Amino acid sequence: MKKALVVYSGGLDTTVCIPLLKEEGFDEIHTVTVDVGQPASDIEQAAARAAKLGAVHHIVDAKAEFANEYCVPAIAFNADYFGYPLSTAIVRPLIAKKAAETYKEAGPFDVVIHGCTGKGNDQFRIEFGLRLHAPDAQVRAPIREKNWTRTAEIEYAEKVGAPIGQSREKIWSIDENLWGRSIEGGRLEDPSYEPPEEIFEWTKSLQDTPDDPETVEIMFQCGKPVSVCGKNMPMLDLIMSANELAGKHGVGRIDMMEDRMIGLKARENYECPGAVLLIAAHKALEALICAPHERRFKDLVDKEWADLVYKGLWGDPLYEDLSAFCRSVQQRVTGMVKLRLFKGSATVFSRESPWALYSEADVSFDDAAFDQSAMDGMVKTHGMSSLLYARLKARN
């Protein structure tokens, strides 16, 4: 008996894999959906579609793990890939890990299937994760193998009666988790096309946002946000609260040209209100706490981490090295940040910490605590090599 496991979102790409496997002679097909904060209706829809297609369905609740083990590091590293808070990228390693656990618990399976195309980044992220956690698994990507377009998938689904939500007219591809929401496909693939308001669900349009600004206070303990507006709450609830607060004011809409791993440029639209809010607050607190050279190096570390995570290399040796440095810095990232939310912006206007490397007495123009005359010799020798170079250049 041939047995397959499909890493199943319930969307078009993974749904068409089930009838394809049946055509290939697989007798028993299992599907696994990992709940990382997508709408409950999506979870229910995936279960219903899997049942309709005769699959044995598994649901894994990983929301709390995602919030604590993946979103918290994203905040600590000020997660940013050219303006994108890595909302899709950081969840793929967890989905692969949970799928691998299902592979071991419900197996043995002859093959593990995912629905990634050959043009995107997820094929790298998912397959690396599966091979990391289930090294003996045979991994296949039928959509990539068949070189199918989205239209070809829809035509096949209609032919075999597979339940899908897309149509030739409404072809958006939407991916959602706690940390963000991505929308692509259809006319959005044209960089000059203005995204229609219908694609957005988490963020208000500027004309629909409140006409009065709102102040948000975020408390951090060792780099982790622990309260919003004076309310302590678990990380999962805190992220959901941040999404609601920032989204109400239109914060977190991102329209960008993204450089995919294979070299293609892609136009991507994201909604990441909570991520944008929490990262802005965290970064402001680090700026208050870190020494100048430490802050510059942390910025380099953040960029390296983002690049690794974008590529799905969660657990790479360099990832572990960067994490060790970040943990050391975060021990001091404790304090409070206030931001003003208004018409699409999240502006930091107040920050305080017991670890602040700041002396008002020394920096103030109205305080004589700092002996300015001591700077005379230091200023005269500033740029000495540059001055010497200028003289040599003038002679020659």
Q: Do the domains 3-171 and 176-352 sit in the same CATH topology, yes or no?
A: no
CA distance 71 to 82: 18
pLDDT grade, residue 299 (50/70/90)?
very high
- Residue 200 in this model has a pLDDT that exceeds 80: yes
- Residue 251 in this model has a pLDDT that exceeds 70: yes
pLDDT at 366: 66
Catalytic residue among 35, 42, 122, 175: 122
Say how many CA atoms lie within 13 Å of 276 toward its Cβ: 27
Mean pLDDT of 308-319: 94
Spell out the domain ranges in the chain.
Answer: 3-171, 176-352
Tell me if residue 13 is catalytic: yes
Query: Which CATH superfamily is 3-171 part of?
Result: HUPs (3.40.50.620)
Catalytic residue among 131, 173, 295, 316: 173
Q: Count CB neighbours of 234 within 10 A.
A: 12
Note whether 205 and 194 are within 8 A (CB): no
Tell me if residue 92 is catalytic: yes
- Residue 232 in this model has a pLDDT that exceeds 60: yes
CA distance 10 to 128: 22
pLDDT at 371: 79
- Residue 33 in this model has a pLDDT that exceeds 70: yes
Catalytic residue among 49, 92, 140, 181: 92
pLDDT grade, residue 166 (50/70/90)?
low
pLDDT at 358: 80
CATH topology of domain 176-352: Argininosuccinate synthetase, chain A, domain 2 (3.90.1260)
pLDDT tens-place string over residues 90-111: 999 999 999 999 999 998 999 9
Tell me if residue 122 is catalytic: yes
Q: What does residue 339 show for φ and ψ, rounded to 5 degrees? A: -125, 155
pLDDT at 150: 84
pLDDT tens-place string over residues 324-363: 999 999 999 999 999 999 999 999 999 999 999 987 666 6
What tokens appear for 105 in the block?
């618990």
- Residue 288 in this model has a pLDDT that exceeds 90: yes
CA distance 301 to 27: 48
